[in-house]
Chains A and B, each alone.
Chain A
């Protein structure tokens, strides 16, 4: 465990000292700010049924699709390219320890960025004269539910990023692979859900719930915590990390 913590600290440090991380954080903050401004402007103009936070969370796919590939692409690809990877495994550490350290460091950064982004609601909502507060758009339950959903889905997204990074020493390729897998998950899920409603096929209907990320998000924001969804994301995350471990092992040999 001591070695795992050392690796985790090293990975976090690597992220913190890298200028790329700050560029990614800036892109993320700008996109979040833009989305919030756009939604707020829309809310003030027209009456809406859905709370602002829920609407804001529905747009989470866009910053996620940008940030996860950029954060995770360096984790293994860079080590392959520099050759530091072999150096690391000359020490008695397991493959899974290395994969987990990289995963948790990236996931931690991902969650940190989202926590910072949700501070927009705290900042706006805490002001007594705030129009947001007056219109009672911000509910703490919506915020918690939205954040929890992002945290749970983030497990799978970051694991996919780590897996893509373990495949290649080219960071651009890793980034593109992650981006397209995530985009497929978001758009594909929605597509299958829509298609099941049109065709009324029972096969689609069975998996509709686990594929349609946006309907799951709505449930979480409304306080409905479906444990099946949690198990689904957790198990797929573990699967992706297991695949990453196998790929890393194969790459070394």
Chain B
């Protein structure tokens, strides 16, 4: 385990009645990082998160939380983790304030600081004025999510795990959650799963893509982008005559050539070696008939990376089957 790692997962496997949910999953998360866990439904995201939170045990492999093995010392490891489960189940018979104080007591916050801690998170999550005295059963979905997030942020847990925290929230509330995560960036390690990829792209530094119980890719958006390409794919937006552009691009393999919304401007996706790319740059920069608006490595959105990674897994499975 590296010194700066908050979570280290090694060869983690989980089986439910013989059915493999996680297959020798390994990854690590640095302290203070905000990491997004992405995967289609049934990929094993919730199983990973529950094992990290110490709720369920893995079948084999290990998880190290702040140097403590979840398999060997689950109680110690749990002290560092706060978890908000998917769908955020809450006891309906309690008021918001009562619930958070109860959770604070269970989390081992000193008696004198329980009220203060509960109030702090209620203010952070916009619950203090509007929902403090309300019964949980009367809360809307959005408020319930906020109570769950407030519970996860309660205390001084170094690692916060949020399973689908923005589900059911309106755009204002999503911005609110983003602010809370941003406020804790650097001080706490946050691991969150979500299907809203654009949302994760905004908040997370790193990503873990999982599909059918296997890790497909890990890293920052740039790293994942490079990983997806596999080859040197470039993208250019160039103004000028189509014929002149095509002539300049003769040394490289054009994948896509299409006219942009602006007249006499073209979007070109091409594959080239680094050397060929440098030569191309020299060529087009010396050509006064062409206006280079943008040129560089192809940038993928998280959605494209995700679709590409999961599709590759599907293709691989189909090949194995055949």
Chain A positions near chain B (C-beta within 8 angstroms): 2-3, 6-7, 10, 13-14, 17-18, 82-84, 86-87, 89-94, 252-253
Contact = CB atoms under 8 A, between A and B. Distances in A.
B66 interface: no
B82 A90 contact: yes
Contacts of B94: 13
Contact of A18 (B50, B79, B93, B106): B93
Interface residues of B, number: 28
B89 A87 contact: yes
Nearest to B98: A13
Q: Interface on chain B toward A: helix, strand, loop, or mixed SS? A: loop
Given A2-B105, A90-B82, A91-B107, 13 more contacts: A6-B105, A17-B93, A18-B93, A82-B89, A89-B54, A89-B55, A90-B53, A90-B81, A90-B83, A91-B106, A92-B54, A92-B76, A92-B108
Contacts of A86: 50, 55, 85, 89
Contact of B85 (A2, A3, A83, A92): A83
Interface in B269-322: none
A153 B220 CA distance: 62
A253 B14 CA distance: 10
28 contacts: A6-B102, A6-B106, A13-B93, A13-B94, A14-B93, A82-B91, A82-B92, A83-B87, A84-B90, A86-B50, A87-B83, A87-B90, A89-B54, A90-B53, A90-B54, A90-B55, A90-B78, A90-B81, A90-B82, A90-B85, A91-B106, A91-B107, A92-B54, A92-B74, A92-B79, A92-B108, A252-B55, A253-B56
Interface centre among B74, B89, B108 (most CB of A within 10 A): B89
B195 interface: no
B123 to A, nearest CB: 22
Contacts of A7: 106
Given A2-B108, A6-B106, A14-B91, A94 B75 contact: yes
Nearest to A91: B106
Contacts of B83: 87, 90
B103 interface: yes
Contacts of B85: 83, 86-87, 90
Contacts of B91: 14, 82, 84
Interface of B: 50, 53-57, 74-76, 78-79, 81-83, 85, 87, 89-94, 102-103, 105-108
A43 to B, nearest CB: 43
Closest 9 CB pairs of A and B: A83-B89, A90-B83, A92-B78, A6-B105, A92-B75, A84-B89, A91-B106, A90-B53, A253-B56
A3 B89 contact: no
A92 B103 CA distance: 11
Nearest to B74: A92
A154 to B, nearest CB: 25
A91 B103 contact: yes
B237 to A, nearest CB: 49
Nearest to A10: B102
Nearest to B83: A90
Contacts of A252: 55-56
Nearest to B104: A6
A3 B105 contact: yes
Contacts of A253: 56-57
Interface centre among A83, A89, A91 (most CB of B within 10 A): A91
A7 B55 CA distance: 17
A18 B54 CA distance: 31
Contacts of B108: 2-3, 92
Contacts of B76: 92
B173 to A, nearest CB: 21
B143 to A, nearest CB: 17
B46 to A, nearest CB: 10
Contacts of B78: 90-92
Nearest to B56: A253
B107 to A, nearest CB: 6
Contacts of A94: 75
A93 B106 contact: yes
Contacts of B106: 3, 6-7, 91, 93
Contacts of B54: 89-90, 92
A3 B103 CA distance: 10
A44 B60 CA distance: 71
A75 to B, nearest CB: 13
Nearest to A18: B93
Contacts of B92: 82
Nearest to A85: B89
Contacts of A93: 106
A57 to B, nearest CB: 35
A14 B102 CA distance: 12
Contacts of B56: 252-253
A247 to B, nearest CB: 15
B20 to A, nearest CB: 15
A14 B93 CA distance: 7
A117 B108 CA distance: 39
Contacts of B75: 92, 94
A91 B50 CA distance: 12
